[in-house]
Chain A
């Protein structure tokens, strides 16, 4: 869909165009991001099309003509299986709940360019400018190796050892919300629902319990290694490898081993 009025992200413009297109396409199942854009769009679309909205969607499957959606409730502590009716339904997909690589195709699909059925002026909201957030610290989303500090580090004094480990691994330090709330690290280092969503090559979770609010922001990492004394800690549900040892004992040994390995190269 092409129009100068759609050149900038504007939910008001999108909400004016989409109902017509979705009706033209006879859409059965519409997927939006569970993002600020998707959330802004879902309400007006639902109203215009009479379609139910399922938010917090983390999975979809079909059996025959029936669709079943898995949705997160209560901040991720519960999941619900939902079945929309026979008509059109709108799902808001949680970022990080799918594999982006599976969304790519080697072949270019057929492309059809359309113009909107309706005029896009005047709009109740106008896009003025894009303001990039000021990054006064490292952008942890761009770091391939992250060492995450959780409450298990016990004291701010222990952050130094973790920071040194992160540096030795060629990465940087991030943290769970309780660590940031205590002021031990800046907010820019917070990973999780109320912080950053990261997908590094290595995520080393040290003393991280694995609350849903945190794992939502890191479970897409390529390799997750968790260290926690509690074998029942939910971080082990998302970790590829884990160790139930005292991280404060492990970190110095790990540092030594890494230095040895680097020295022998």
Chain B
């Protein structure tokens, strides 16, 4: 079975997502919505906040 996961690797600084991350999420949502896939946003960080 072909995987159907779209993964966005977030860029962030000082607790805020960058504009390009939101643009990537918009692209991922559009792609996933059209074919019924799933979107995951990966945030690599030093803390959960």
- Identify the A interface with B (CB < 8 A): 1-9, 13-14, 17-18, 21-22, 25-35, 37-38, 41, 59-65, 67, 86, 88, 93, 95-104, 109, 113, 130, 199
Contacts and interface: CB of A to CB of B under 8 A. Distances in A.
11 contacts: A1-B43, A7-B45, A7-B46, A27-B6, A30-B6, A95-B19, A98-B26, A98-B27, A100-B22, A103-B27, A130-B13
A99 B20 CA distance: 9
Chain A CB count within 10 A is highest, among B7, B20, B22, for B20
A47 to B, nearest CB: 16
Nearest to A109: B41
Contact of B45 (A1, A18, A25, A35): A1
A93 B27 contact: yes
B42 A29 contact: no
Q: What's the dominant secondary structure at chain A's contact region?
A: mixed
Q: What's the dominant secondary structure at chain B's contact region?
A: mixed
Interface of B: 2-9, 11, 13, 18-31, 34-35, 37, 40-48
Contact of B9 (A31, A103, A104): A31
A156 B22 CA distance: 39
B27 A60 contact: yes
A3 B27 CA distance: 28
Given A6-B46, A61-B34, A41 B9 contact: yes
Contact of B20 (A17, A28, A33): A33
